A and B are shown apart, each in its own frame.
Chain A
Amino acid sequence: MKPQPKALTFLTLLSALFLAGALAMVFLYAPLEAVMNYVQKIFYFHVATAWVGMLGFIVAAVAGVLYLIRKDLKWDIVELAAVEISLVFFLIAIVSGSIWARPSWGTWWTWDARLTTAAILELVYLAYLLLRQGIEDPERRARFGAVYTLIGGISVPVTFLSIRLWQTIHPAIIGTASAEAQGGFDMAPAMLHTMFFALIAFSVIFATLLWQRIRLGKLAEQVEQMKLKISE
């Protein structure tokens, strides 16, 4: 087994530092929002986790297409890693969104386009994992997985558009006007700085997790190879 590469160790430490830095900025640097007070602080991490989910979604779709073209199982490992990370971070984004929504709009859930699309995307990911689970042959699993991420990669943005279209034609169902439902409030420069720092911090965390997960996938493959060698 190869030891963890130095760059990865560095990146892992860097993520921890960035996360601590982001927390410090959220609580010490960013001013308290006038109306929502402390609840607003969840906003920084909510946006950042949704951003990571988005990154994972894009990486998974690209890796899927690359697998279908190249037929190299390493892209399958990348795809699975990206899906798992995206699944977890969108879940965090949805939960933190709900926590944010409860005090500000008086409801845990609104059928906002972004929130709904994120929820549907979670279902696409769960279906993807179930699909993989039902296939023994690693190559077929990779092919079907890649085809499904491709279909999801196209249909989810269309889903987002169609929900948007639905809401512009229909008035918002929940009492609040839609501008406020987009999370609109005046952002002080310090808030903006904090948000961008959180975005950078979580991007580093995303890179670290993706790398770690790909490395794990490759190690699992080696273990399988060794098992086969023993049984032969």
Chain B
Amino acid sequence: MIKVRKLVKRFGLKTVLRGLDFEVRTGEFVALLGPNGAGKTTFLRILASLSRPTLGELRVAGYPLPSQAAAVRARLGVVTHMPLLYGDLTAEENLRFYARMYGLGQADIRLAEVLELVGLSARRRDLVRTFSRGMQQRLAIGRAILHDPEVMLFDEPHTGLDQEACDMLDRILREVAARGRTVVMTSHDLARVEDLASRFDVLSRGVITASAGRDGLGGNLLDFYRGALAG
């Protein structure tokens, strides 16, 4: 579903990603771990077609990047720590706008379905500006799954959420994953992702330094993570 070969990303003279290899099979839920500044967000932005790779080969959802970016975008759902929503539109209007941008025709049924899934049906007529951070984040997930994407990318989705909102988010994430979608999620919060993901990759100094499935952790995630950073 995602295939990355020897990915290099430079910002001017600074090299952020240095020949990164990465592969995700359909239905996997990969947690991408790593210290701040390791290049997690940069990597995710490249996968999301928001940033161009300097060198390397990428295929997402079966299409090469950046040459067929539009095809990839149609099959991709992205959630960042920014909600990407308009404060002066209602929840429903925000979703309707994005439905139009994704070329979904009569989207009313789909809209109702998505609002139900993220638990915002009751507040669909309210302005997003009045929403709490947690509600905005839930709507952001609604926005990202609207067009039924095959691949979902989450960039630190838990940032700035309180405990309750985090639990709600986890519930939605599990639901999303249960539908057979491929998920890549960055995080620096190990405890959060431990029960969510099916695979754990560590990104450090611009490359993936370790990768293990849930069974291959050999003890707990923290030890695995420390080992990956040290080695």
Determine whether A and B are in direct contact in the complex, meaning some CB atoms lie less than 8 angstroms apart: yes
Interface positions of A (Cβ within 8 A of B): 73, 137-139, 221, 224-225, 228
Q: Which residues of A contact B13 (CB under 8 A)?
A: 138, 221, 224-225, 228
Bound-complex Cα distance A138 to B14 (A): 10
Min CB distance B173 to A, Å, is: 32
Contacts of A139 in B (CB 8 A): 11-12
**Residues on the B chain within 8 Å of A225, using CB:** 13
Shortest Cβ gap from A121 to chain B (Å): 28
- Beyond known contacts A137-B11, A224-B13, A228-B13: 11 more, CB 8 A cutoff: A73-B12, A137-B12, A138-B11, A138-B12, A138-B13, A139-B11, A139-B12, A221-B13, A224-B12, A225-B13, A228-B14
Q: How close is A219's CB to chain B, nearest CB, in angstroms?
A: 14
Instruction: Give A67 Cβ to nearest chain B Cβ, in Å.
Output: 14
The 3 closest A-B pairs by CB, nearest first: A138-B12, A225-B13, A137-B11
- What residues of A have a CB within 8 angstroms of the CB of B12 in the complex? 73, 137-139, 224
For this complex, 14 residue pairs linking A to B, each with C-beta atoms less than 8 Å apart, are A73-B12, A137-B11, A137-B12, A138-B11, A138-B12, A138-B13, A139-B11, A139-B12, A221-B13, A224-B12, A224-B13, A225-B13, A228-B13, A228-B14
* Bound Cα distance A221, B14 (Å): 12
Chain A residues near B11: list those with CB within 8 A. Answer: 137-139
> Distance in Å from the Cβ of A56 to the closest Cβ of chain B?
25
With A and B bound together, what is the CA distance between A224 and B14 in angstroms?
10
- Chain B residue with Cβ nearest A228: B13
Chain A residue contacts of B14, Cβ below 8 A: 228
Interface residues on B, range: under 10
Identity of the chain B residue whose Cβ is nearest the Cβ of A221 in the assembled complex:
B13
Minimal beta-carbon separation of B220 from chain A (angstroms):
32
A48 to chain B, nearest CB (A): 37
Within 8 A of A (CB), among B7-57: 11-14
Smallest distance from the beta carbon of A135 to chain B beta carbons, Å? 11
Min Cβ gap B12→A in Å is 3
Q: In angstroms, how far is the closest chain B Cβ from the Cβ of A142?
A: 9
The smallest C-beta distance from B57 to any residue of chain A, in angstroms, reads: 18
**B72-97 toward A: CB 8 Å interface, digit per residue (1/0)?**
00000000000000000000000000
Which residues of chain B are within 8 angstroms of A228 by Cβ–Cβ distance?
13-14
Chain B 108-147 interface 0/1 with A at a Cβ cutoff of 8 Å (1 = within): 0000000000000000000000000000000000000000
A29 to chain B, nearest CB (A): 51
Complex alpha-carbon distance, A138 and B11, angstroms: 7
In the assembled complex, the Cα of A71 lies from the Cα of B11 at a distance in Å of 13
Which of chain A's residues has its CB closest to B54's CB?
A: A139
Chain B residues, CB < 8 A from A221: 13
> Which residues from chain B contact A137 at a C-beta distance below 8 Å?
11-12
Shortest CB–CB separation between residue A37 and chain B, in angstroms?
55
C-alpha spacing A139/B12, complex, angstroms: 6
How far, in Å, is B90 (CB) from chain A's closest CB?
34
Assembly CA distance A224 to B10 (angstroms): 14
Minimum distance in angstroms from A126 CB to a CB of chain B: 24
A138 to B13, CA, bound (A): 8
A45 to B51, CA, bound (A): 48
Bound-state CA distance A138–B10 (Å) is 10
Closest residue of A by beta carbon distance from B12: A138
> In the docked arrangement, what's the CA distance between A224 and B11, Å?
13
How far, in angstroms, from A137 to B54 measured CA to CA in the complex? 14
CB distance from A117 to the nearest CB of B (A): 34
Residues of B within 8 A of A73 (CB): 12
The residues of B that contact A224 with a CB separation of less than 8 Å are 12-13
What residue of chain B has the Cβ atom nearest to residue A224's Cβ?
A: B13
- A139 CA to B14 CA in the complex, in Å? 11
Question: Nearest Cβ in chain A — how far from B35, in angstroms?
Answer: 15
